[in-house]
Amino acid sequence: MKVAVVTGSAGGIGSATVAAFEGAGFTVHGVDRGDAFPVLDTLDALVCAHGISGRRFGDGPVDSCTDEGWDTVLDANLKSVFLYAKHAIPALRANGGGAIVTVSSALGLVGGDDDFATHAYAASKAGVIGLTRAMAVTYAREGIRCNVVAPGLIATPMSERAQSDPAIIARLPELQPLTGGFGSADDVAQAFLYLATAPFVTGAVLSVDGGWTAR
């Protein structure tokens, strides 16, 4: 039986990811805030489905983003991915290969306007893309595939601010024209599952954003 570790497993996207991988026959070890990384002899997939929005910590445009906001968001969204991958790679090696799938954001690919001006968040999510693609190159010879999912606005507890903002809701047909609405956590979970099991895909950034970044 294949084994996966899913971080952020208690969150909206993380819990949907656990369910998707279990449905596909994986034994899933969930890791959430405060949990130690499981000790595993071998591993088939690490899925980094965690992350935070930093507004409450002081994130915002560069001129108003606080040092605390910057450090908190970069630690939670980027440094943590480095640390989880560092733990996972020896077990993936022992398995003869496997997959690391990380979560970025549409805001890691395009600049956010006034409604999405959280620059520490954008920097952290762009950094996840750079880190993951660099790992893809380094570990390809060992059969370790490293890919990124970049969601748009997804209906989860983390996006409650956007879900309750009439101005953002009114913009959804423009931002995500495919449906004109929020995506679901399962949309992202299924993208994770695909990238974790696609044998000839590495270094890819898969946008799951209803068309936001296609413009």
What span, in angstroms and rounded, lies between the C-alpha atoms of 93 and 57?
Answer: 37
Cα-based distances in Å from 147 to 22, 144, 183: 20, 10, 20
Show Cβ contacts of residue 131 under 8 Å, excluding neighbours closer than 6 positions: 78, 81, 82, 85, 102
121 belongs to the catalytic site: yes
Are the beta carbons of 174 and 127 closer than 8 angstroms?
A: no
Residue in 127, 148, 146 with CA at minimum distance from that of residue 135: 146
Q: For the chain, how far is it from start to end, CA to CA, in angstroms? A: 41
CB atoms within 10 A of CB 122: 22
The number of helix segments (H) and strand segments (E) in the chain equals 7, 6
Side chain identity at residue 210, one-letter code: G
Closest alpha carbon to 112 in 149, 78, 65:
65
**Annotated catalytic residue within 84, 121, 139, 194:** 121
Q: Which residues are catalytic?
A: 121
